[in-house]
Structure 1
Amino acid sequence: MLELAQRMVFCALVCSVYARASCPPRCECSEAAHTVKCVSKDLRSVPAGIPGYTRNLFITGNHIGRIGPECFQGLDNVTNLSLSNNRISEVESHTFAGLRSLRYLDLSNNQLTSIHPEGFSVHNHSLRELNLSRALYNHSAVTDLAMSLRWSSLGSLQVLDLSGNGLIFLPLHIFAQLGRLRRLQLSNNSLVAIHNATFRGLERLEELDLTFNTLKSIPEEGLRELDDLPAASRLLLGDNPFTCTCAIEPLALWLNGSRGRVRDAEGLACAFPPDMRNVSLLAAADLTLGCHQRAAGADLALQTSYVFLGLVLGLVGLVFLFVLYLNRKGIKKRVNEARDACREVWEGYHYRYEMDSDPRLSQVSSCADA
């Protein structure tokens, strides 16, 4: 009996060691480093049998089309998960909910077209960094992402990378639920404007990268949006095609007062028009004098034209009244004649009405005519 018990214990230990040492096919596992790598192995899905000791999981450079909650069951210890460059197009509901310790998630260089509203929900709000650079395939993915950032309980997220996605605009309130976000990467997109409520809710944001976009200017509405980021001490605006006309005035003045926050303010330059190319945007504030002079001249000319028009209309009115005064007798005579003519016409209509309404009078009238 004792021998049987010893054999059972021995078998359990062997099985335990084997299970801890097992590694999915075409993957590399290191128990000492708590790391599993499945890199460029032409995988079509997340491999099964990933060891439970895994903390760093790299499944990159494969051909995985979709990911769901069944892909990561039993991986409570994973803190860093990289799924970059896998051609992933769909993220299902609660895909990462089983990763109770997940802090860093990399989905960069994929082709996301469908993201469930709760696709990024993680147990205990553990996720701190989310990398979605070059991951959104089309406009519908941007809409899905906005919904997911609102519904996926990412209140503890601190870093979000959306660079290189060709974004032309950002849906309003897209970051409203990311109250602890500290760094937001929006570089290498095609953003054309910053609107009201674009960054609403980012009260703790420290760094905002808007480099390499298509911003020609930032109107006062957008500048107020940037000013409403109280903790943002690192703003980056370089490599945008700023157009230095009078419309650049609010931005140029704002930059001169915000050099401490805009870290690359000294390097910002005009791209258009050609005669202003490479002129410092800080120096472009001098254009405001010319703009104000032209605006003042235009206002003065407009006011002068209004005064002149008023004088002309007043003079015409006086002439008209003078002509009426000189012809007052003739006008009175014509008015009386018109009144008498109207009275005669009215009496004629009245007589005919009485004739038509009384049959006897109509018969007498017909006999008289005969």
Structure 2
Amino acid sequence: MRVLAQRLVFCALLGSLYASCPPRCECSEAAHTVKCVSRELRAVPAGIPGYTRNLFITGNHISRIGPECFKGLDNVTTLSLSNNSIINVSLISLKPRISEVDSNTFSGLRSLRSLDLSNNQLAIIHPEAFMVQNHSLLDLNLSRALYNHSSVMDLATSLRWSSLGALRSLDLSHNGLIFLPSHIFSHLTSLQRLLLSNNSLVAIHNSSFTGLERLEVLDLTLNSLKAVPEEGLRELDSLPRADLLLGENPFTCTCGIESFALWLNRSQGRISDAESLVCAYPTGMRNTSMLSVVTLTLGCHQSGAGADLALQTSYVFLGIVLGFVGLIFLFVLYLNRKGIKKRINELRDACREVWEGYHYRFEIDSDPRLSQVCTSADI
């Protein structure tokens, strides 16, 4: 009887243990972990144990996520919702079956440190989508998470409005970003790692990195940077503690890249992949080390000086030719001075006769008596 009672108690405990784990999920109380991976789930499962610290709900088809999905999970520190086809971070669903993440969805996770929303399609991001109590969130992964590059404006608003002052790592890689809005990261004053690799950024400007004095890593590899203008160089210099990654960009090594090439040589200690940076264009400079492009800079200046010298030489030559033509003209005038003087006198006499004729006619017309004499004389 005693043995039978022990077995019944054991079975009851075992049954309660399995009952505490949601269907199609794997739970480990010892590891404080719950995994619901690739289980064709349509919603966040109910009944997640309160001991959970690490919650992985990935590879499913979640249709909606709201604050009620994570009630009673005050101990969760790591939450992964990657690869769930989440489309909207908004207050309401725009059309049937569009996945949705309500405002303040994560605000009840008082201990949340890491949030992974990678491999989703966030088309609309509500300003309070990442609101977390106690400013606890330290790591936010949005890699391959934006529906398209236009979502970056909503993201910028959300980063300003949400409580992310303690955030240390932000991953925005593989999102097809073409530009960064002005001051997009200015409220992330504790950020240490910013990953922007594998996007389509064409320029660094608009004070995009303002407020990131504590940044330690800035990854800009695999973008579309052809050069970095003076404004962009000043922004990069405003990150004194950051190690920069600039590889796999299509740098165009023409005369316009002079200041960037000089900056690279001056800042090699801050650029982790400086030795691997090469020219992509023009064809003759392809695979040339960016650190050696300073010689091209000198060539550009020499070419410019040569052009100026050639222009000055042409002006001098033109002046000499015009002066020589002028001398010839004066010499011809000197040889024909008598004939020219005669022609001038004849022209002067002809003008005088014409003038006297006009003067005579004017006197006749102005005196009626002379006019009558002339008339009778004609008769």
Give the TM interval when normalised to the shorter protein. 0.7 to 0.9
2:215 maps to: 205
**Aligned: 1:52 with 2:15:** no
Provide closer, same or farther for how the CA distance between residues 247 and 50 of structure 1 changes in structure 2, counting only shifts above 3 A.
same
Q: Which runs of 5+ in 2 are unaligned?
A: 1-11, 90-101, 327-343, 356-379
Aligned residues: 310
State whether residues 66 and 89 of structure 1, in contact with CA within 8 Å, keep that contact through their aligned partners in structure 2. Answer: no
How many Å apart are 1:301 and its aligned residue?
5.5
Match of 1:128 among 132, 138, 143: 138
For 1:142 and 1:306, how far apart are their aligned partners in 2?
55
Q: In structure 2, do the counterparts of structure 1 residues 128 and 301 end up closer, same or farther at CA, with 3 Å as the change threshold?
A: same
Pairing partner for 1:159 from 169, 178, 182: 169
Structure 1 match to 2:99: none
Amino acid at match of 1:182: Q
Secondary structure of 1:235 counterpart = strand
TM-score by length of structure 2 reads 0.75
Distance change (3 Å), C-alpha of 1:56 and 1:310: farther
Tell me: CA distance 1:297–1:123, structure 2 relative to 1, closer, same or farther (3 Å): same
Q: What is the CA-CA distance between 1:20 and the residue it aligns to?
A: 9.5
**Relative to structure 1, is the Cα distance of residues 260 and 28 closer, same or farther in structure 2, using a 3 angstrom cutoff?**
same
Which position in structure 2 is the counterpart of 1:173? 183
Runs (5+) with no aligned partner, structure 1: 1-13, 317-325, 338-370
Instruction: Report the Cα distance in structure 2 between the residues aligned to 1:185 and 1:127, rounded to whole angstroms.
Output: 17
Partner-residue secondary structure (3-state), 2:294:
helix
Q: Percent identity?
A: 74
1:42 matched residue in structure 2: 40
- Assess, with a 3 A threshold, how the Cα gap between structure 1 residues 77 and 310 changes in structure 2: closer, same or farther: farther
What is residue 148 of structure 1 aligned with on the other side?
158
1:249 aligns with 2:258: yes
Correspondence 1:75 to 2:73: yes
Q: What is the CA–CA distance in structure 2 between the aligned matches of 1:174 and 1:223, rounded to whole Å?
A: 18
Structure 1 residues 196, 142: closer, same or farther in 2, change over 3 A? Answer: closer
8 Å CA contact 1:209, 1:235 repeated in 2: yes
Residue 305 of structure 2 corresponds to 296
Say which SS state the counterpart of residue 260 (structure 1) adopts: helix
- Relative distance call for 1:51 and 1:303 in structure 2 (3 A) is farther
Task: Quote the Cα distance in structure 1 between the aligned partners of 2:316 and 2:184.
Answer: 51
How far is the alpha carbon of 1:47 from its aligned partner? 1.1
Within the candidate set 197, 208, 215, 2:225 is matched to 215
The match for 1:22 is 20
* Contact persistence 1:199–1:225 (CA under 8 A): yes
Please report the RMSD computed on the Cα atoms of aligned residues, expressed in angstroms. Answer: 3.1
Q: Deviations over 1:226-280 (max 9, x none)?
A: 0011221x11001111111111111110111111000100111111111111110
Provide the C-alpha distance between the structure 2 equivalents of 1:272 and 1:97, rounded to a whole number of angstroms. Answer: 49
1:265 to 268, 274, 278: 274
Change (3 A) 1:140 1:277: closer
Structure 1 residue identity aligned to 2:103:
S
Give the 3 Å change call, closer, same or farther, for CA 299–152 of structure 1 in structure 2. Answer: farther
Instruction: Give the drift of 1:66.
Output: 3.2
Kindly tell me: are residues 302 and 28 of structure 1, through their superposed partners in 2, closer, same or farther at Cα, counting changes over 3 Å? Answer: same
